[in-house]
Amino acid sequence: MSLEDPDTGAIEPAEETAVGVTDEGLDYDALADLLGDRLLDREEHVNAEGFVVRPDEVRSVLFDLRDEAGFDHLSCVTAQEYDDRYESLYHLKKYGAPTQELSVVVPTAKDEPVSESANPVYRTADWHEREAYDLVGVEYEDHPDLRRILLPETWQGHPLGQDFDGEEPQIVTLREHANPLQEDHRGDDADTMFVNIGPHHPATHGVLHLKTVLDGEQVADVDPDIGYLHRCEEQMCQQSTYRHQIMPYPDRWDYISAGILNEWAYARAAEDLAGIDVPEYAQIIRTMSAELCRIAAHLLAMGTFALDVYGDFTAIFMYAVQDRERVQKILEDLTGQRLMFNYLRLGGVAWDIPEPREEFFEKTRDLLDDMPERLAEYHDLVTSNEIFQLRCVDTGVLPPEEAKSFGATGPVARGSGIDYDLRRDDPYGHYDQLDWDVITEEGCDNYARVLVRLREVEQSARIIEQCVDLLEDWPEDEREIQANVPRTLRPDPDTEVYRAVEAAKGELGIYMRSDGTDQPARFKIRSPCFSNLQTLPVMSEGEYIPDMIASLGSLDIVLGEVDR
């Protein structure tokens, strides 16, 4: 319940034994004692302390922090290049208490940027470190498969490194991919088949390429190949100014109408970085519009999932789009755009509720009034359909331990019974003042994930309703939509912040480092889909191929956010 005090993660049994947990939160001195000599230095970041460790002790440090101190969630890995060194940052959190954060800072030498891989500790480090290698050029010792992930294999240079020359020509190949299990064939009868699914395929929800090896009808091996929509979002943000130029880009990460949720991730991080307070009234508008976005995003997830499982382009998909159109209409009234809202500003929102206000509220209430009936319809069509249940119950199973190890968040984690929602656990906006529930399902399967989304639509509607009530009664002369923010923001040099919000797909985090100018020196996006997609092999290996397609649909990835 959101009404509870959010910082009560410590009462969970696992937390009591964890090192460094006190009633006030996290005791960094105790954690420092745990690391002993391995701790070289301590840095102060806006969100947490950063512990500097040697590159050849990363693994032992992370093991201790995970097992002794309870940091079971590797949220993100950020790599960056300074003038004198490379640095990898491991942003650690706890699923039980995400406000207890710690950054592990691993500096490496300029001429030999090699540090230990965190993959044995957190399996999610696999892709995160590959990305760091690809874009920045840090290498990870003992990494199981250190190759490029977002850029083509034949790419030259590391584009977010300092000496990258964007004018250099590049050559990209188009070739068929070999069967990775070919050499495991035993004799002539044992036969596996290699199938490329994507990058242009109706079931991949965008430009995803799945290198799949089939043994008969079953999936023997699946390797998602991403990067077909890597459009340099981090570079774009690094060359834009904080105040206005960055805000349009978040809309384009998770573009399934989840724009305001993404904008909020940036707004929250930047506001913490620059110390801006947002007026309460603006927070309520943000909360309301963000939840409208969540409804639209979940409806599309449900509609396209039905498209994958039923294979029809008719009723369910069309119903979902119809309801999305209504939500988009309201959002368009509010923001002026159907999809790319660009509505939040640092310190508030762009403008107030449109006049006449009554009309706007009436439209919103109409939507909410119809919602129970529409949801009942969806439950009729989807979740209570026997064929659907046959397809989805107990397929694509993702056990909670695996989900945690892969850093899964959002409906994917909550469908595996992990009670983790940043809106409640790390409150921002107006969520902690409202009455709503975090939805979890214990099923761990495709069905549970779809059910979580549908039930979350209900909760979002509850939140919106309460926000509308508050906004309606808000006194006219106190409608402050924007804090006083300097025209040009120049946060103090070398301030670092990592902040996350609960976006439609899960934990969307932003890491920013300022260098005293009006542009961030490093801007890193922690995309929930990127981590969630890593769980696909766990869900689908050994399963039938149609179940893999269903699992992919139930992950609800959006490639703009996976590839950024």
Partner 1 sequence: MSSDNQTADGRIESTQDARMGEGVDSRFNSTLREAFGSSPFILTKFDQFMNWVRGSSMFMLQFGIACCSIEMMHTYAVKHDLDRFGAGVPRASPRQADVIIVPGTIVSKFAPRMKRVYDQMPEPKFVVSMGSCTISGGPFQEGYNVIKGAEEVIPVDIHVPGCPPRPEALVYGVAKLQERIANGESAPVTVKPYELEQFGDLEGDELVEKLADQVDEDDLVMRYNWAESP
CB of 63 to partner 1, least distance (A): 35
Closest CB to partner 1 among residues 207, 269: 207
- DSSP secondary structure letters along 254-288: STTT-HHHHHHHHHHHHHHHHT-PPPHHHHHHHHH
CB of 377 to partner 1, least distance (A): 15
Q: Which of 143, 205, 243, 524 binds partner 1 (CB under 8 A)?
A: 205
Residue 453 parent element (H or E) = helix 446-473
Residue 217 CB partners (closer than 8 Å, separation 6+): 544, 545
Secondary structure, 3-state, 457-496: HHHHHHHHHHHHHHHHHCCHHHCCCECCCCCCCCCCCCCE
Asked if residue 22 binds partner 1 (CB under 8 A), the reply is no
Asked if residue 363 binds partner 1 (CB under 8 A), the reply is no
Asked if residue 449 binds partner 1 (CB under 8 A), the reply is no
* Interatomic CA distance for residues 323 and 329, integer angstroms: 10
Asked if residue 67 binds partner 1 (CB under 8 A), the reply is no
Asked if residue 161 binds partner 1 (CB under 8 A), the reply is no
Asked if residue 172 binds partner 1 (CB under 8 A), the reply is yes
Total of chain residues touching partner 1, rule CB under 8 A: 53
Asked if residue 173 binds partner 1 (CB under 8 A), the reply is yes
* Interatomic CA distance for residues 520 and 377, integer angstroms: 47
Beta bridge partners of 49: 44
Residue 423 CB partners (closer than 8 Å, separation 6+): 2, 429, 431, 438, 501, 502
Q: Which of 18, 79, 106, 207 binds partner 1 (CB under 8 A)?
A: 207
Within a 13 Å sphere around the CA of 517, how many CA atoms are in the beta-carbon half? Answer: 9
* Interatomic CA distance for residues 24 and 21, integer angstroms: 8
Closest CB to partner 1 among residues 115, 204: 204
Closest CB to partner 1 among residues 23, 168: 168
Of the ranges 59-67, 100-108, 148-156, 373-381, which one interacts with partner 1 (CB under 8 A)?
148-156
Q: Which of 45, 230, 374, 526 binds partner 1 (CB under 8 A)?
A: 230
Q: In Å, what is the CA distance from 253 to each residue of 278, 296, 504?
A: 24, 15, 12
Asked if residue 164 binds partner 1 (CB under 8 A), the reply is yes
Asked if residue 208 binds partner 1 (CB under 8 A), the reply is no
Of the ranges 44-52, 195-203, 349-357, 510-518, which one interacts with partner 1 (CB under 8 A)?
195-203
Asked if residue 231 binds partner 1 (CB under 8 A), the reply is yes
Q: Which of 28, 82, 255, 474 binds partner 1 (CB under 8 A)?
A: 255
Asked if residue 257 binds partner 1 (CB under 8 A), the reply is yes
* Interatomic CA distance for residues 419 and 400, integer angstroms: 10
Q: Which of 232, 368, 438, 483 binds partner 1 (CB under 8 A)?
A: 232
* Interatomic CA distance for residues 275 and 489, integer angstroms: 11
* Residue 329: closest CA among 287, 284, 286, 359: 359
Closest CB to partner 1 among residues 20, 259: 259
* 556 three-class SS: coil
CB of 208 to partner 1, least distance (A): 11
Q: In Å, what is the CA distance from 166 to each residue of 136, 160, 393, 442?
A: 14, 10, 49, 48
Asked if residue 560 binds partner 1 (CB under 8 A), the reply is yes
CB of 486 to partner 1, least distance (A): 25
x/- track of binding to partner 1 for residues 313-352 (CB under 8 A): x---xx--xx-xx------------xxx------------
Note whether 53 and 65 are within 8 A (CB).
no
| Burial zone of 517 (CB within 10 Å; 0-12 exposed, 13-18 middle, 19+ buried) | middle
Question: Phi and psi of 27, rounded to 5°?
Answer: -100, 100
Q: Which of 171, 473, 475, 476 binds partner 1 (CB under 8 A)?
A: 171
Asked if residue 302 binds partner 1 (CB under 8 A), the reply is no
Note whether 206 and 559 are within 8 A (CB).
yes
Of the ranges 9-17, 87-95, 116-124, 205-213, which one interacts with partner 1 (CB under 8 A)?
205-213
Q: Which of 13, 36, 166, 475 binds partner 1 (CB under 8 A)?
A: 166
Residue 140 CB partners (closer than 8 Å, separation 6+): 114, 115, 116, 117, 118, 119, 129, 132, 133, 146
- DSSP secondary structure letters along 64-105: HHHHTT---EEEEEEEEE-SSEEEEEEEEE-SS-TT--EEEE
CB of 145 to partner 1, least distance (A): 17
Closest CB to partner 1 among residues 257, 364: 257
Asked if residue 199 binds partner 1 (CB under 8 A), the reply is yes
Closest CB to partner 1 among residues 398, 555: 555
Asked if residue 522 binds partner 1 (CB under 8 A), the reply is no
Of the ranges 115-123, 155-163, 210-218, 429-437, which one interacts with partner 1 (CB under 8 A)?
155-163
Note whether 534 and 85 are within 8 A (CB).
no
* Interatomic CA distance for residues 390 and 392, integer angstroms: 6
CB of 210 to partner 1, least distance (A): 14
CB of 514 to partner 1, least distance (A): 21
Asked if residue 300 binds partner 1 (CB under 8 A), the reply is yes
Q: Which of 40, 236, 438, 521 binds partner 1 (CB under 8 A)?
A: 236
* 243 three-class SS: coil
Residue 290 parent element (H or E) = helix 280-310
Of the ranges 3-11, 224-232, 443-451, 480-488, which one interacts with partner 1 (CB under 8 A)?
224-232
Query: By the criterion CB under 8 A, which residues form the site for partner 1?
Result: 151-156, 159, 164, 166-175, 199-200, 202, 205-207, 227-233, 235-236, 239, 248-249, 252, 255-257, 300, 313, 317-318, 321-322, 324-325, 338-340, 559-560
